[in-house]
Amino acid sequence: MDFLKITGPTKLSGEVKISGAKNAALPLIAMTLLAKNEVEISNMCEVVDIKTLLKLLENLGATTHLENNKVTINTLDLTETKATYDIVKTMRASILVLGPLLARFGHCEVSLPGGCAIGQRPIDLHLKALEQMGAKITIKSGYVLAEAPNGLQGAHIIFDKITVTGTANIVMAAALAHGKTTIINAAREPEVVQLCEVLRASGIPIEGIGTSEITVYGSDQKLIEIKPFSVIPDRIEAGTYLCAAAITRSELTITNVRDDHLEAVIAKLEEMGLKMKIEDTQITIYPCETIKPANIITQEYPAFPTDMQAQFLALATQADGVSTIEERLFENRFMHVSELQRLGADIHLNGNVAIVAGNSKLHGADVMATDLRASSTLVLAGMIAEGETQIHRIYHLDRGYEKLQEKLVKLGANILREKE
Ligand code: EPZ
């Protein structure tokens, strides 16, 4: 297993190009199950989660080719409709194949994802919505068995909670269903917006894109022609580099970004005293002497993202005063707190609220990555800690950040990747 060795404190400088969004690419790859042609997708980040989903499709009989951030996927000759435990257990987003497989074949089996480090993360809302569309769902031996022999029927679906992959799954199912599906309380994340836009460009009429009420007119099980397209930039990777600049008090330019996807993050950084210049697809962030404390609440888009909570927690340890960070999406997403405490951070947890005393002097130590975003927060903290920080279990990082270590080293960080 690899680990990272960071020697701090570090200053960064220069320019970094943001990769394609992992969480946009995952549903877009699953969407190729609806295509009647080979699909070409560019600006594809080459991270482990993407390779896992491509492997899952290959196990079903698809052919895929990923090279130079471009992937081609052909799902025309699928031979299997079963997504097996060995692959699903390694990545929860595998559940994204449930809607399209069922809509296309009228039956499928998808393993239940199992445990997760950040919370329970059930899939009940996905299943309930598919049942409303006429599917018969049974859970047997750890698998979701779904059947709709005559295809799915359009339905009026009200999600009890806003769910990102739940919305994506049902939009894809609805694209091939008979008739009209309305989704109330739909997710508005840019990743869901791109999925809807690509489907619309492929001939599926969709109304309300980017709002909490989406209407999809199904194709009566006719496969669609998907033209080549490019994945949107990763807003969470961009936010992570903005935090890297802020915490190391460096000037950094991030390129290939969509600032309109980062409004809540930019607003919070500004509130904390950071100055930024936004030009077209790039943002330059400037060093600031005194970082102000902040109160942050994670919520669904367009509010502050849970996927940036951990990085802002690290930043808050350097603020001049006490910050509070409330996690509203996932019940167990503070595993990084005890690791940050090992580096000397002064953080108290009160239920789902972290109270962060600022002005902490951090010192290098051995720490353990617990999930993807928790891993990046340890890298941020490691870059300002005095001395050597070793971050173990960095396979979490590899799942979702493309070349994080290489990109930071190019910016001047002292980070080595070594074997345990
Ligand atoms: C997506 O997860 C992202 N993953 C997550 O990013 C992100 O943290 C999350 O959305 C919230 O923004 C992908 O896009 C692949 P949800 P998802 O369904 O879709 C509850 C990262 O680091 N819920 O929107 O699985 C759920 O437990 C990852 O890149 C149900 O109760 O999240 C949670 O409390 C981590 N029943 C809330 O809804 C359901 O059936 C939101 O979850 C589904 C969800």
Residue 68 CA to ligand 1 center (angstroms) comes to: 29
pLDDT category at 361 given cuts 50, 70, 90 is: very high
- pLDDT for the residue 121: 86
Give the pLDDT band (50/70/90) at residue 118: confident
pLDDT of residue 117: 79
The residue whose CB lies within 8 Å of the most ligand 1 atoms, and thus the one to mutate among 96, 112, 121, 232, is 121
Which active-site residues does the annotation give?
116
- Closest by CA to 364, choosing from 389, 340, 329, is 389
| Smallest CA separation from ligand 1 atom 13, residue | 23
Q: Which residues line ligand 1 (CB under 6 A)?
A: 23, 26, 93, 119-126, 161, 163-166, 191, 306-307, 329-330, 372-373, 400
Question: What confidence tens digit (pLDDT) does each residue in 149-160 have?
Answer: 999 999 999 999
Ligand 1 atom closest to Cα of residue 373: 22
Counting from 1 in the atom list of ligand 1, the atom nearest the Cα of 161 is 38
- Minimum CA distance residue for ligand 1 atom 42: 163
User: What kind and span of H or E run contains 140?
Assistant: strand 136-140
C-beta separation of 93 from 165 below 8 A: yes
> What's the rounded mean pLDDT across residues 239-245?
98
How confident is the model over 367-394, as pLDDT tens digits? 999 999 999 999 999 999 999 999 999 9
- The answer, yes or no, to whether residue 114 has pLDDT greater than 80, is no
DSSP-assigned letters across all residues of 241-277: HHHHHHHHT-EEEEES--GGG-HHHHHHHHHTT-EEE
CA of 276 to the centre of ligand 1 (A): 30
Token pair of 29 as six digits: 């790859």
What is the reported pLDDT for 160? 97
Residue 373 phi, psi (nearest 5): -75, -30
Cα–Cα distances in angstroms (integers) from residue 206 to residues 193, 197, 297, 365, in the given order: 11, 8, 31, 51
Residue corresponding to tokens 């390694």:
90
Question: Quick check: 116 pLDDT over 80?
Answer: no
Closest to 315 (Cα-Cα) out of 371, 280, 365, 356 = 356
- Closest residue by Cα to atom 5, ligand 1, is 307
Cα atoms in the Cβ-side hemisphere of radius 13 Å centred on 302? 12
Average model confidence (pLDDT) across the chain: 97
Reported as a pLDDT band with limits 50, 70 and 90, residue 120 is confident
For ligand 1, atom 4: residue with the closest CA: 23
> What is the rounded CA–CA span in Å between residue 197 and residue 205?
10
How far does the centroid of ligand 1 lie from the alpha carbon of residue 165, in Å?
7
Cα separations in angstroms, 220 against 36, 120, 156, 226: 14, 35, 17, 17
Kindly state the average pLDDT of the residues 323-351.
96
